[in-house]
Amino acid sequence: MGPFRILYLDMNSFFASVEQQLNPGLRGRPVAITAVDSESGACVAASYEAKAFGVKTGTSVRDARRLCPGITFLPSRHRLYVRFNLAVADVLDRHAELTHIRSVDEFQLALSGEARSLAGATGLVAGLKAAVAAEVGICLRFSAGIGPNHLLAKIAGKLEKPDGCRWLGPENMPEAIAHLSLDDLPGISEAMKARLYRARIFDIPSLHALDPRHARLIWRSVEGERFVRMLQGMEIPLIATERGGFGNSKVLAPEYRDPVRAYHVGRWLVEKASARLRRDGRVAARFSLQVSFLSGGTWARNVSCFPTQDTAIFLRLHRALWVRLWRSVRPGAVISLGVHLGDVDLLTARQGDLLLPLAPTELTRGEQVSKALDQINARFGDGAIRFGLNAPHPGFFERG
């Protein structure tokens, strides 16, 4: 049996578990984490005690209170959860070979030596569970998946929750996951599921038996062939991808939903995204804005520009798109908004411009100012100096 190469760890009800770890009074009780402190908000995480009553991610606060009258609601503290993520990662890296932090609550490790056998891998999992409990907290538990590649290990990690450990490999595939639906597999969206149905692939055994070359045609990409070969147990390395862009999006709390207030949140998102663009040594040649309304509907536009990392330029483009939005639809209450810096490239690859004048890879004056502000904020704290008025909106519903 084996050899196994990948161990995938999925933290159990991570956000709620962190809160229960910090507050012993919450242990054993149903807890839900909310994005906004409002009855109209939704749960972004729930403890297993709450899940037993049917509360899950996406359940509205109103419905969660109805399903579980004794539930405790807590506002999301994303920075706190990131600190616990790093604490768990530190433990894993000291006891094993941590290769990827997949998300705030998922980790991927490489198996070697004795750990490539089933007995060795399960022994390692037991040791890691004990180490995390002792060094981070007894409430921090995870489910583990063992496999010959990252896809099967990730699927295995979802099979037994909480605190489980399962393995997948050619020896027990596809029978071990034949009960799952196609879209239970990571990477199979509703659109891909429909495409598979049109190809008369209705279940996982049929997908597992598919000729990988046929999968390439269904996916219209080599990713289909890679997916099926991994499902069949082949070791396929992860491919490093080029960064497609830098963005942030935000579901707004009620007090931020007025369009003027939402506009200032957007300015804050622009500053955050452009700062990350500079940290990565890149420039962007396209700015996009997306605004969704409480009454329904979404407005989205984008505009091109000279490749830049100047926050002031992106803020001007942000304002121009809001003006266009205001003139076209007269926005009502805003439920969410997002900004995105696209068409990115390395600063070192930027060509010069004789009209500015600007030499290749040279920073413009505005980019120099932006870089100076980054240095000030790094020393004195995020937001110590800003590009004019904005409205910081901390919270979980933030991506990018």
| Residues that are catalytic | 106
The H or E element spanning position 72 is strand 72-75
Question: Residue with structure tokens 């957007």?
Answer: 266
Report which of 301, 289, 286, 291 is spatially closest to residue 341, judged by C-alpha positions: 286
What's the first-to-final CA gap in the chain, in angstroms? 40
Report which of 383, 397, 390, 388 is spatially closest to residue 263, judged by C-alpha positions: 390
In three-state secondary structure terms, 17 is helix
Please report the DSSP string for 91-149 in residue order. HHHHHSEEEEEEETTEEEEE--GGGGSHHHHHHHHHHHHHHHHHHT-TT--EEEEEESS
For 35, residues 6+ apart whose C-beta sits below 8 A from its C-beta are 41, 42, 44, 76, 251, 253, 395, 396, 397
- The four Cα atoms 63, 64, 65, 69 give a dihedral, to 10 degrees, of 130
For 94, residues 6+ apart whose C-beta sits below 8 A from its C-beta are none
Strands 106-110 vs 245-251: parallel, antiparallel or unpaired: unpaired
